[in-house]
Structure 1
């Protein structure tokens, strides 16, 4: 406290000596009041006539802010009797009482501060007074009984000698709602009880305005003498408004997200936002692990779905939390771009959770509490949310429960007390109850504090201690710094702000009242592993030097496992002198968090090339000059992760080996009369020769069939199966350095023929092996057709040469030199063997000739004396054709002939004409 304040208090104390000698507590003041209440009831009071007429009904009445009269007393006790929302109407009910007051020109000033989120939009409405109603009770004008006046009258009345100096108005500069009693010539006591209703529901509907959504809204009230009084007030009464319903005057809450996973690595969810009664906003997802911020700004798809891959970071028992963050698209009445968030959705990974018997509920904290206060504050710590556990808060005063709150989460809590003030010596306790389905509830230890009297000591600037901020863990890639400011010293109108720095540079601030709260500072660039983040709480008091807390510091950590990440070593395939390639394998690498890899080739310690390296893949480098036996070859893999230093594997080296001379010869298929002898050779072989029965027939250059492969013509030189075949490899000097025999093998010829049905099929089909180049059809010893097979198959037309199942039909296979390789007989069948054709009796002169057929006959023809005269199609196994005029008395032979669909004759019968 500065020197001027000390002087003023000394003067005030001296002036009040006639009433009392020491500052009272609520408790001893009430004792003093017992003997004075009769005197208060009997006291007479008069309205004081001021020396000057007041200006009428200003928003801020400066004259009333400093009335030139003096009064004294034991001070005011201030408390909230009720603060609640009833169908959109907020009821603010307060009580203020000066137990003993004495003086000339006594006037009471009650100041109510309403949460700025409500006050700014509401009081900026031109006709805000129409939405306020209620009453104010105060001492009767003659000092006897009670005088009640409506809020409407106080807001609208004139002020002055005759109408009185009592009024109500909003001080826009100080953001205070002020209610003044009449001014009395003399008074022995003072009180002012407010029962005010603010119809925010109707105001919101009429104006289209919405108050920003908050878990609670803070209210503050204090009554003091409005003069040069030596009355004092023990302190402001503080309370909070809870339970504002949806679709009311406050913006609706942000809808939560679902949260699920099938593998405990990749998480996904979906959020559908109902934008009724909401400000337009952009949405994202913030993720936590075990209550610690992990990843912010996870983007939503158009349908509200999202997904995130934690990789290998999570372990069984970890609790993943997902919160929908709503960043409003524009500032509203509070001039801020508000950021709101949903209730967090939680998911426990795996089954390795803390069992019920080992589960501990962490106790809350309680801020220091002082005589006369109406709010209990503290901090709810992070809890164990495994197995769907939830928590409730309970607060007790002197063993009696005064406040409960369900479904709590970490952060600052505010527990209002209605209808009473805390008193010196009261015992305040707070504890948390944990709930788990199908299990008994568990409770934390009880945090406790004793209500203190020593306000003057706490108000002393020299004894003022600013508590340090709580700073949440920060991780590489984060774009947000968050934490908590604990409840602070509340005296002398002190307020606070948290200042956050990164590597010594300021990155953001946030202001708080004495009860602290959560802060989030959004950065313009990502945090980097190793950055130093600091948070400092700065306290402000009017006309005093600022005070700062100790710094809270964190080093930006890495949750991608960069420090433990290891780049696995590559392998090198065997290297031989003269080679133009270096090859090998890349083992499985860690590809989490966007990690990718390259591989470098070194020859004689000089980097030659860099290629992409794929996990579990092969690599290949092509050289410009062949390897030499003295070369030292090495490869090294480098791992890359965005915004991190690269990591490398060990450098793996290999020596170049001397060439091992090799020459192979593949088997020669004598039956197929292969055109070439083929095989492989080592790099030192430059030419290949083929010998048949020790005779040198052909020479070719090496590698003529690809790298390390050859083919050399030999068909016309290999005549017999018993021929001896040898290939020889020559070096650059033409010297034979390797020779290898070639096996002469025979391949069994494959030839198959499908069965042929006479009077149904037109061709014979089948399959052959690759050595068959020609197929011939032989009927009764005579070749009647030939074709070349294709892709191991053939089809050959019979051209009506096959007439009877008794015919001898063969398929004969030839190679490309027209040598018979194999022959097979064809199985024959006759489609007409089961064909039936009948007719009904026919008399000469009948119009129609009718009958029946089997299902394989499609058409019936009428033949008279060898001449085709009529034909009809069969229908449903029957036929009917005209015969009159075709069959006459001179007809010698009348026949019916049945034909297949393909036009083959299946049945022929003679008709007996009657």
Structure 2
């Protein structure tokens, strides 16, 4: 077998399984039909008996059959490519056929393919191949191309015969003919046909083909003496219609079921999609709408019980007729859900298959498979034997349908015994098996192909019950000769409610009780249900079985059914808003469900459905009053029957003794700080019924202090001046409730801890000034509650904070007692040149963390004071010069009323680059500038002068220094600068106030020409 696509080749000499083989549904305007389950499962290659038949199976050679004077068989039936079907047949006459004779070979294609394909104009161009036969004059073989045989209208030709629905080959006339043969090798290119015409063939589990050859002087019967084959083809987006997509199924309460089955019409006949829901295989909901996103939901109420199997499938109702004149209904695969526990292993039974009666000479075995229990992932296989030898043993999907199994190059003979048995498997348990069904091969002495001997066997009818939504039963095996077909017809009260097509194999049926576009209806008592089978044979009068009738009876025990009474709690007191009711067990058979009603003085105040058998609490909107009467009852519902009501239980409301339930609500007490003169206690709302009164008891460290009257929802102040309180003392308050003739009740006790009085932290930044080694800060931070007499126990940490509130660096301050000889509240710290030179560009402030005995006591900014000074030159911190350290321009500023500084970089356009600027330690000098002239200014190593010129604000020169010598240093920074470009300029202290003086460096050559001139001021 050429395995070019995903397909399974099955012929009439090879076993095939199919569920829902009767996919075509004849739907009346007032009937909805239920089609059994479908599957697209590929089948495993069977072990056939005898052994040599297994080898033939791989080649796909089916049986040769007789009955017309010819033997016919398929030599090959495959799908050569994705959509090109190949049928290779061989037909031989069994005896000399005489003089001046013709013969005809008919190919009957599956009705779904034939209906669409042969209704297409120009279908002939998609059929090719060859026919081999004897020459009409000479005893030699002759081969004819099929595509040349469609043009002739007489003589040797090929054509489609609408009466027999067969593709016919008619041979030429033979003047004299002995034994004849005809070999056909035919290709039907359905893929190209689909591409050209956009037509689709209805999806089926398999597609059947047959071939038969007869003399032209007899009426052509395509069903008798034919060899059959079948192809199972399973892939999407081809000439075969795409599958209906299945849904998922979910529920939160085992009543409301929902899912999503998103559909589209790509490569499908245009359809309307709805859903069907089943309980244990019985339809209970149909025409469930799917929205544009495929979402659906439906509520089954109390129809299902624990252990029931819920299943759902999508139904596609096609909008237009196909080429065969039928508007098909298609179905998705079923999805399953089990309510509660599944059917236990001990109660699980495997249902038996059926076998069609077999006759002498037949090579195919047919039968039906019933629906099986699929809970707990149970699986099944079907075993077929002939005379005790295994013919096949194949997995089946457990849904109802048909099967076929064939013998290869052999046939059954009278007296052979054929058996069928289904085995069930559940993981962790021994297999279970059905009863063995046995058929003994008979001789067809009665001539059952004869219309007069044909009997249509009556169906069986499942006992109809009140509330059923469908009529179901089983059609037994029927007469299979002459291509006979059958229908099962159901009536309700003498009116037809639905019918559906069935094959001669019969099988289970289910016909929904529904009128078109309406919801399902249910059976009522005394409804009359009837079913019968109609048989059809071409050009013959239909035959009917006898009618099976049953009247719907009450088999539910309705008359004996009693709704059990609920029980209200024994005592109900006034002011009650919650009532406990004991709900008894109820009978849930036959779809029964229950509502609970609670009434006060005859008025229903609460209704609830499907309460569990347990004690439930009902909360009322209004509190009960003395002498009101509370009643409870349960209403039982059964489909199609009148409701039943339980006996009522009633309780009269009595006066309430509320002391036991009375609770004294807990007070609140405000915080108490050392030095407070009173304690503030607040009582919440209290119960004032029964003339109840209240007092508050105040205690100190567990010992009573005082008791005072307090009202509901009142705050009082209790005097503390006569009590000696200390920090960390515990003050507690309890409310005592009094009711006449009853013991006092006490609230819960609340406590507060007396806290020490908080003292503010004082921070004074006194001064800041530049030194050659960095920026120095001095000040004081103090709190009266701190112990600051031991400098070793005090640690002050200063943190440099950027504008993102991030700590960039930190330094410990020195403790000083400059401001109070008895307290080390003062501090001095230095931000070193190294620390300042490592900062990035930005604004920075300072925060101080104070630790006493390694415990953080406070975190505070450095607060400037009005008397703050800043070194010898300036009186204000913000007037301090901008200093340069490692290219960082550091300018002291006040930020957010805090001392801080900004960091910037050299102006890229500056003629002179400043590396460092600082105060000299020598008394005679003030500012010092370390810098360089950019390397792109080439200075001769000799023969140039660097001159320092200081001018005041009027422009008058107040100081000059000629010939600044080069400094052999890189100031700890690697610079690719010639030594002659480096300089150091020292400004006398008298001229070091940048606000009053300007500093310039002028570089000249030996001729006095200016090479470069620039300003040093950074302010």
Report the TM-score, using the length of structure 2 for normalisation.
Answer: 0.53
Q: Is it true that 1:503 corresponds to 2:429 in the alignment? A: no
Q: Is it true that 1:534 corresponds to 2:460 in the alignment? A: no
User: What is the match of residue 675 of structure 1?
Assistant: none
3-state SS in 1 of match to 2:491: strand
User: What is the match of residue 370 of structure 1?
Assistant: 359
Q: Distance in 2 between matches of 1:594 and 1:483?
A: 24
Change (3 A) 1:276 1:584: closer
Change (3 A) 1:373 1:757: same
- C-alpha contact (below 8 Å) 2:86/2:186 kept by paired residues: yes
Q: How does 1:723-738 map to 2 (within 5 A)?
A: none
User: What is the match of residue 186 of structure 1?
Assistant: 176
1:322 pairs, out of 275, 297, 311, with 311
CA deviation after TM superposition for structure 1 residue 551, in Å:
3.2
Q: How does 1:139-218 map to 2 (within 5 A)?
A: 139-142=134-137, 144-156=139-151, 158-160=152-154, 165-218=155-208
3-state SS in 2 of match to 1:457: coil
User: What is the match of residue 672 of structure 2?
Assistant: 755
- C-alpha contact (below 8 Å) 2:68/2:225 kept by paired residues: no
- C-alpha contact (below 8 Å) 1:389/1:434 kept by paired residues: no
Q: Is it true that 1:649 corresponds to 2:640 in the alignment? A: no
Change (3 A) 1:234 1:117: closer
CA deviation after TM superposition for structure 1 residue 537, in Å:
0.6
User: What is the match of residue 342 of structure 1?
Assistant: 333
CA deviation after TM superposition for structure 1 residue 534, in Å:
2.4
Structure 1 segments unaligned to the other structure (5+ residues): 1-72, 577-582, 668-746, 776-786, 814-825, 858-862, 864-872, 887-914
Q: Distance in 2 between matches of 1:230 and 1:790?
A: 108
Count the aligned residue pairs.
674
User: What is the match of residue 117 of structure 2?
Assistant: 122
3-state SS in 1 of match to 2:411: coil
2:320 pairs, out of 309, 331, 336, with 331
CA deviation after TM superposition for structure 1 residue 399, in Å:
6.5
CA deviation after TM superposition for structure 1 residue 215, in Å:
1.6
- C-alpha contact (below 8 Å) 2:351/2:422 kept by paired residues: no
1:111 pairs, out of 88, 106, 113, with 106
CA deviation after TM superposition for structure 1 residue 794, in Å:
4.8
Q: Distance in 2 between matches of 1:767 and 1:85?
A: 93
Q: Distance in 1 between matches of 2:91 and 2:70?
A: 6
CA deviation after TM superposition for structure 1 residue 169, in Å:
0.8
Q: How does 1:683-694 map to 2 (within 5 A)?
A: none
User: What is the match of residue 715 of structure 2?
Assistant: 793
CA deviation after TM superposition for structure 1 residue 526, in Å:
0.9
Q: Deviations over 1:166-219 (max 9, x none)?
A: 211112354222111112223233333333222222322332222112222333
- C-alpha contact (below 8 Å) 1:81/1:418 kept by paired residues: no
Q: Is it true that 1:389 corresponds to 2:318 in the alignment? A: no
User: What is the match of residue 565 of structure 2?
Assistant: 569
Superposition RMSD in Å: 6.1
User: What is the match of residue 908 of structure 1?
Assistant: none
CA deviation after TM superposition for structure 1 residue 536, in Å:
0.7
2:781 pairs, out of 840, 847, 852, with 852
Q: Deviations over 1:370-395 (max 9, x none)?
A: 34545421111333434322223344
3-state SS in 2 of match to 1:214: coil
Q: Distance in 2 between matches of 1:308 and 1:663?
A: 44
Q: Deviations over 1:708-734 (max 9, x none)?
A: xxxxxxxxxxxxxxxxxxxxxxxxxxx
Q: How does 1:591-740 map to 2 (within 5 A)?
A: 595=593, 597=595, 613-614=607-608, 638-640=635-637, 643-650=640-647
Change (3 A) 1:368 1:639: closer
Q: Distance in 1 between matches of 2:78 and 2:461?
A: 34
Q: Distance in 2 between matches of 1:404 and 1:664?
A: 79
- C-alpha contact (below 8 Å) 2:759/2:784 kept by paired residues: no
Q: Distance in 2 between matches of 1:811 and 1:444?
A: 81
Report the TM-score, using the length of structure 1 for normalisation.
Answer: 0.59
Q: Distance in 2 between matches of 1:827 and 1:512?
A: 91
Change (3 A) 1:469 1:150: farther
Q: Distance in 2 between matches of 1:665 and 1:633?
A: 20
Q: How does 1:445-484 map to 2 (within 5 A)?
A: 446-454=436-444, 457-471=447-461, 479-484=469-474
CA deviation after TM superposition for structure 1 residue 836, in Å:
7.7
CA deviation after TM superposition for structure 1 residue 282, in Å:
0.8
Q: How does 1:53-68 map to 2 (within 5 A)?
A: none
3-state SS in 2 of match to 1:152: helix
3-state SS in 2 of match to 1:137: strand
Greater RCO, 1 or 2 (C-alpha within 8 Å, sep 6+) = 2
User: What is the match of residue 68 of structure 1?
Assistant: none
Q: Distance in 1 between matches of 2:659 and 2:92?
A: 114
CA deviation after TM superposition for structure 1 residue 473, in Å:
6.5
1:132 pairs, out of 127, 131, 141, with 127
User: What is the match of residue 714 of structure 1?
Assistant: none
Change (3 A) 1:881 1:258: closer
- C-alpha contact (below 8 Å) 1:168/1:179 kept by paired residues: yes
Q: Distance in 2 between matches of 1:812 and 1:463?
A: 107
